[in-house]
Amino acid sequence: MAVEVADLVIRHIRDVDDETLKGFTCGRDQLDEFLLEDARDYDAHGITSTVVVFVPGRVAPAGYFSLSADSVRLTESEEFELGLPFDAPISYYPAVKLTKLATSFELQSQGLGEAIVELICGLVTEVPFAVRVLTVDAVNQPKVIAFYERVGFVESLADRREKKDQRAPATVLMVRDLYL
């Protein structure tokens, strides 16, 4: 059964106890360990903010995501190539980085990840400051890249150029324009 945005219950990690967090596994040790061992420290130090996701009828977390402020910086020449219909002396586009996204192993391929990304789009446009772009350093695996493409992210060509000498970079920088 597909998970819808309207099904989701979310809480900031500071409002979720450790016992509940222990019920989560996504199948990737690094992401599981981050939630249990690091996410609170990252939050406490202002590095990322983690939100835990639940679905009806399931006490254990269904997923989680972490967000940080980010920016798409422009070179001097790029500032003139933006195509803005007015003069704006900006050196970057305001962005939010999706630093972590994980869904429970038992709930994968049910649309939960897609629903979470939609929810994030709502969250970041709710704040009283501009956010134009979502960014993500996607793990360089076909399934992961395909997921982000499905939810509207495109690969950063600049990132590809910078990594052209790397046979298989660990991550691929992808961006999503919230206005599209």
Partner 1 sequence: MMSLAMKPAAFQATPQLGPEASRELLQRLGRVRLTDKRRKELADLAAAARAAFARPLPTAANGR
117 vs 147, which CB is nearer to partner 1? 117
# chain residues binding partner 1, by CB under 8 A = 65
Phi, psi of 171 (to 5 degrees): -135, 160
Structure tokens at 29: 């040790």
- Which residues lie closer than 8 Å to 86 by C-beta, 6 or more apart? none
Q: Does 82 bind partner 1 (CB under 8 A)?
A: yes
By CB under 8 A, the residues from 17 to 56 that bind partner 1 are: 30, 33-34, 37-38, 41-42, 44-45, 47, 54-56
Structure tokens at 117: 């990304």
83 vs 142, which CB is nearer to partner 1? 83
Residue whose C-alpha is closest to residue 121's, from 112, 109, 133: 133
By CB under 8 A, the residues from 123 to 142 that bind partner 1 are: 123, 125-126, 132-133, 135, 137
39 vs 147, which CB is nearer to partner 1? 39
Q: Which of 75, 105, 141, 150 binds partner 1 (CB under 8 A)?
A: 75
Residues forming contacts to partner 1 in the complex (CB under 8 A) are 5-6, 8-11, 30, 33-34, 37-38, 41-42, 44-45, 47, 54-60, 70-75, 78, 81-85, 93, 95, 118-119, 121-123, 125-126, 132-133, 135, 137, 154, 156-159, 161-163, 169-171, 173, 175, 177-180
